[in-house]
Structure 1
Amino acid sequence: AAGKTLRASSSNGASVASNANDGNRASYWASRENELPQWIEADLGSSVGVDRVVLRLPDGWAARSQTLKLQGSTNGTEFTDLTASKDYRFDAAGGQSATISFDATTTRYVRVLVTANSGS
C-alpha cells in the first residue's frame, strides 16, 4: 500500500501511521505501549482485488512474534475477517517480514489488527 492513506487506532510519539508505507525501513508505526488490540489500515482508494499482505518490521529489531489478523472493508466502517488470528514470527533470518496470503477478495480498506506482541 505504498503511498496510500493510512489510519491507526493510536500512535506512539513520532511513530505515526504514515511512517508504515513511506518506503523508509528505519521509520515505522508504533501504537501506544501495552494497549492491545491495536490496528493500522490502508485506504486503497477504490475497491481492488487483494490476495496477500506483506508486513515488514525495521531491520535490527529484536526477534518477536505478533498475533494478528487481516480485515477488509468496502466502506471503512464495517470490517470482515480476511484471515484468522495467527502468530507471525519476525526475525533477521526471515528478513523481519511476513507474507500473509488469503483467498482473493475485493476490498477498499485493509486492516491489520494486532492482539499480542512479544516485542517492545
Structure 2
Amino acid sequence: MDTQALSCFATYMGVYEYLSRGSYTASEVTKHLANDQNSKTASKHSKKAADGELEFISLNEEERLVLDKSALIDYLLEFCTSLNLEADIHVKRKQKPEDGIASITDSHSKSFQDMKSQY
C-alpha cells in the first residue's frame, strides 16, 4: 500500500478540506487558503493542486479543481483493511434546509390530549 498520500494529507489538508465541499478554480482555492496561511504558501499549495501533484485532486474540463471522493474512499478503505480495521466510509449526504426542522408526528402532545379529555 502506498502511504505517500498520508503525508500529502498532512501538508495540504486545507486544500483537501476546501475541495471536499465542491469544485473551485485555483485562484478561489488560493484566496480561501490565504485566510489561514500566508499568501505565498497558499499560492504554492494551490499551484501544486492545479499541476496535478496532489493525490486525488485533478482539473476538470472547466479548469476547476476537483477532489475524487470515490478514489479517496477506496484508498481509505484499503488503508483500514491493511490495519485490520473495518470501516464504513461514504460521502456525506447534503442536507436540505428543512432537515433541521423537527417533523410533527402528532397534532397534539399526549399531555394536551389528556387535559382536553378531562373537560
In terms of fraction of residues, the more strand-rich structure is 1
TM bracket (short chain):
under 0.3
Provide TM-score, normalisation by structure 2. Answer: 0.21
In terms of fraction of residues, the more helix-rich structure is 2
* Higher-Rg member (1/2): 2
